[in-house]
């Protein structure tokens, strides 16, 4: 970079309801590289930010859930296109946060491919997991999957991009909306990914991304009464207990994703199924 030009540094903000506010709390934490140089100030998301995100996610859920499988697929594909176009930026951000450059390139490539993978499932998982049930009485009976609703996701600290993308893709391809807590140690890609989502025809509120301290926000993710499912990644036993106890207040679905090989078996439709409900419909057969 030539010395006569000052680079424009990016402000990393959170993503709620299709907008990029700072944390309502006004709080921040400083992200440093290994040498202790400041990379950026990151929003330290609050309970109120989370609650605002749930409102946005809930109001977006009905429309997103009813959008066609084809549209879900195209929008996920569009996210991949946008991420591909900004590949170098994401690699650079991972490197800045201490990921080796080869590993960073691999993680970004896999993230793009992961989106394509789940885009392809949009109009197929239903066919794989649904059933027509041969009941004995004179009824037509079938079971299909429907989105669980609003999903709160605490994404993994490592694999800050691939883990985030896998969790989001599997949730939204099935018609859920989500609130995602970014990696605490590597939050940059999550914020940039929000910008990618914003440019990909994903309706506002379908994905909401917060940065902040996991230790502070876990209880809010697990306890909110208008959240239908909570996913936590790499929580220890204490986290598991906290999440499950609080989740029980409204019988949330609790999904633990511990020690997931994000570059391998996180590509499978059972991740989609984790945040789906089976609905069975009956109708008489007669004249």
Positions in the binding site for another protein (CB under 8 A): 128, 131, 133-137, 139, 141, 143, 146, 148-149, 228, 237-238, 240-245, 247-251, 253, 265, 268-270, 277-284
CB of 203 to another protein, least distance (A): 19
Helix (H) or strand (E) holding 180: strand 177-181
CB of 75 to another protein, least distance (A): 20
Please, which residue, 37 or 138, has the CB nearer to another protein? 138
Please state, in angstroms and rounded to a whole number, the distance separating the CA atoms of residues 65 and 263. 28
Please, which residue, 67 or 95, has the CB nearer to another protein? 67
- Largest Cα–Cα distance in the chain? 84
Phi/psi at 263 (nearest 5 deg)?
Answer: -85, -5
Phi/psi at 113 (nearest 5 deg)?
Answer: -65, -35
Please, which residue, 6 or 285, has the CB nearer to another protein? 285
Please, which residue, 9 or 135, has the CB nearer to another protein? 135
Among 47, 10, 56, residue whose Cα is nearest residue 27: 47
CB of 16 to another protein, least distance (A): 24
Please, which residue, 88 or 226, has the CB nearer to another protein? 226
CB of 241 to another protein, least distance (A): 3
Please state, in angstroms and rounded to a whole number, the distance separating the CA atoms of residues 76 and 197. 9
CB of 216 to another protein, least distance (A): 20
Among 149, 168, 173, residue whose Cα is nearest residue 61: 149
């Amino acid at each position: 970079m030539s010395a006569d030009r000052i680079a424009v540094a990016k402000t990393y903000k959170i993503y709620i309801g299709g907008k990029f506010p700072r944390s309502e709390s006004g709080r921040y934490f400083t992200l440093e590289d290994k040498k202790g140089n400041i990379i950026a100030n990151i929003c330290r998301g609050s309970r109120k930010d989370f609650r605002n995100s749930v409102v946005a996610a809930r109001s977006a859920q009905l429309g997103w859930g009813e959008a066609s499988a084809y549209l879900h697929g195209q929008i996920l594909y569009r996210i991949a296109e946008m991420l591909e176009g900004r590949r170098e930026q994401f690699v650079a951000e991972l490197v800045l946060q201490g990921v080796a450059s080869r590993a960073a390139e691999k993680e970004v490539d896999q993230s793009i491919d992961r989106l394509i993978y789940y885009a392809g499932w949009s109009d197929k998982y239903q066919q794989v997991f649904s059933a027509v049930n041969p009941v004995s009485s004179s009824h037509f009976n079938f079971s299909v999957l429907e989105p669980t609703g609003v999903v709160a996701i605490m994404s993994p600290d490592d694999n800050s991009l691939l883990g985030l993308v896998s969790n989001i893709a599997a949730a939204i391809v099935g018609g859920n909306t989500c609130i995602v807590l970014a990696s605490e140690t590597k939050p940059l890609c999550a914020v940039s990914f929000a910008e990618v989502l914003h440019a990909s025809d994903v309706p506002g509120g379908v994905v909401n991304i917060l940065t902040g301290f996991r230790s502070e926000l876990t209880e809010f993710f697990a306890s909110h009464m208008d959240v239908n499912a909570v996913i936590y990644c790499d929580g220890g036993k204490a986290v598991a207990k906290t999440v499950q106890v609080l989740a029980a207040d409204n019988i949330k679905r609790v999904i633990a994703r511990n020690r997931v090989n994000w570059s391998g078996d996180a590509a499978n439709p059972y991740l989609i199924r984790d945040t789906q409900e089976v609905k069975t419909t009956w109708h008489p057969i007669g004249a």
